[in-house]
A and B are shown apart, each in its own frame.
Chain A
Amino acid sequence: MADQTLDASGLNCPLPILRTKKALKDMTTGQILEVTATDPGSVKDMESFCNQTGHELVSSNEEGGKYTFEIKCK
């Protein structure tokens, strides 16, 4: 489903969103980036990141301490 994946596990603020931003920079409109992270702060960070940059947070899930986000490139 995802056009690109980014594993940000083990990374803490602000690395997950910084890496996300970098990955999205090289993607085209409509493409989906799947990000996995272990930082609980990343949930709110991803939301805020998408709100402020215009990328769409398609989904945000948590399973056993691992957070998965799907972001659609604007």
Chain B
Amino acid sequence: MDDKKIAIIATKGTLDWAYPPFILASTAAALGYEAQIFFTFYGLQMIRKDLSNLKVSPLGNPGMPMPMPVPVLMQALPGMESFVTSMMKKKMKDKGVASLEQLRELCLEADVSMVACQMTVDLFEFDTSEFIDGVEYGGAAAFFEFAGESDICLYI
């Protein structure tokens, strides 16, 4: 059986950017793909045990739909980021969107391979005990071994 492969590079660490890699990987796994996510730079935030620090900000994000327009200067005020983040989380909950923890758990259950970029772990001096179990550590070359054979390769 020739399993199709999907490789995803996750480079962003905000709440809105964390969803696509987990959704795509879990869905791919459900469809029979072999999936691998390579977490690098801010994508490393997504594999922390505690995901409560993942935020979203309207600042510099003119594409974000807001219930009412908020001037940019106001968006920079203390507390706005946390406020917008909790509003988004609430909206997701109300609409039945899975939580990040749930999606990540589904990925792990579906044997999605999760690789953390050793270089950026060292760069940001992350304590690996902060990361979830099941994460391997590797570099670009290790990623290419899988990505080179992949049918779908995405940079998120």
Quick check: is B27 within 8 A (CB to CB) of the other chain?
yes
Quick check: is B156 within 8 A (CB to CB) of the other chain?
no
Q: A39 to B23, Cβ gap below 8 A?
A: no
Most chain A beta carbons < 10 A, residue from B31, B98, B106, B110: B31
Total residue contacts A-B, CB cutoff 8 A: 39
Question: Which residue in B32, B98, B106, B110 is a CB contact (below 8 Å) of A53?
Answer: B32
Query: Within the assembled complex, what's the spacing in Å between the Cα atoms of A49 and B26?
Result: 13
Query: Within the assembled complex, what's the spacing in Å between the Cα atoms of A21 and B26?
Result: 11
Q: A49 to B30, Cβ gap below 8 A?
A: yes
From 20 to 63 in chain B, residues with beta carbon under 8 angstroms from any chain A beta carbon are 23, 26-27, 30-32
Q: In the assembled complex, which residues on chain A have CB atoms less than 8 Å from the CB atom of B98?
A: 11-12, 14-15
Query: Within the assembled complex, what's the spacing in Å between the Cα atoms of A52 and B28?
Result: 10
* Chain A residues in the interface with B (C-beta under 8 A): 10-15, 17-18, 20-22, 38-39, 48-49, 52-53
